[in-house]
Structure 1
């Protein structure tokens, strides 16, 4: 009985892009940091929960700092040092994540706040009567 020969395929090599986009999504419960190339393909990511923080500690500024440092450490192994920053959300990890990016000596071209703000959209829920 003859076995069919497996096709040998080459692994895809990661293309090094000269610039990246750092997305920071800071909610009240967690902070997620995603680093993409200019086309939007994810290079590295990290979150407070993925760094080992659980429960209420995920929403702290320190957890956001550690998550940002982890994502940038994976990203800078590819020798890319220039980035744009897109921040969204009202969480406590916003400013600390940005501070961690600046401390890592990444050259920032701009920082943009992309938090969605309603222009008098949905009706809010009724007031609580306690």
Structure 2
């Protein structure tokens, strides 16, 4: 009795690689981690990177070095879209704030404008109760 082969029909899907000359780099620098998103001018996300994706875990995600690697990964992914100009939007008080700009300059990206979007409360919510040390 001959052996029968069972093959599955697989579709090969090719991604349409868009060419985007100018984009936006959103850096969210929290105390715990750094998140970076690269979008086109309409705000459609092209690629992203986080400190966790870069291989850092726990408290090492909150270091400036982790932020450096995260921004470098995002820029390298953005180069796949032929991006050379970026506007930078920075949000949050974390260690990745100023590191992002240094990495952009070192990688040779042209920066159009830099915007600080850190939310500033107008005396918002009530603070937590004080801890009682015994």
Q: TM-score, normalization: structure 1?
A: 0.87
- Select which of 54, 74, 78 maps to 2:77: 74
Computing the radius of gyration from Cα coordinates, the structure with the larger value is 2
Aligned pairs (5 A) from 1:34-113: 34-113=37-116
- How far has the Cα of 1:11 moved from its partner? 5.2
Q: Gaps (5+ residues) in structure 2?
A: 1-10
Change (3 A) 1:125 1:101: same
Give the 3-state SS of the residue equivalent to 2:72 in structure 1.
Answer: helix
The CA distance in 2 between the partners of 1:78 and 1:88, in whole Å, is 24
- How far has the Cα of 1:15 moved from its partner? 2.8
Q: Gaps (5+ residues) in structure 1?
A: 1-7
Residue 19 of structure 2 contacts residue 83 of structure 2 at CA under 8 Å; is this kept in 1?
A: yes
Deviations 1:6-63 (A, max 9, x none): xx9x856233222100000011111011100011111111111101011111110000
- How far has the Cα of 1:78 moved from its partner? 2.2
**Number of residues of Structure 1 aligned to a counterpart in Structure 2:** 124
Give the 3-state SS of the residue equivalent to 1:86 in structure 2.
Answer: strand
RMSD after superposition: 1.9
- 1:24 aligned residue: 27
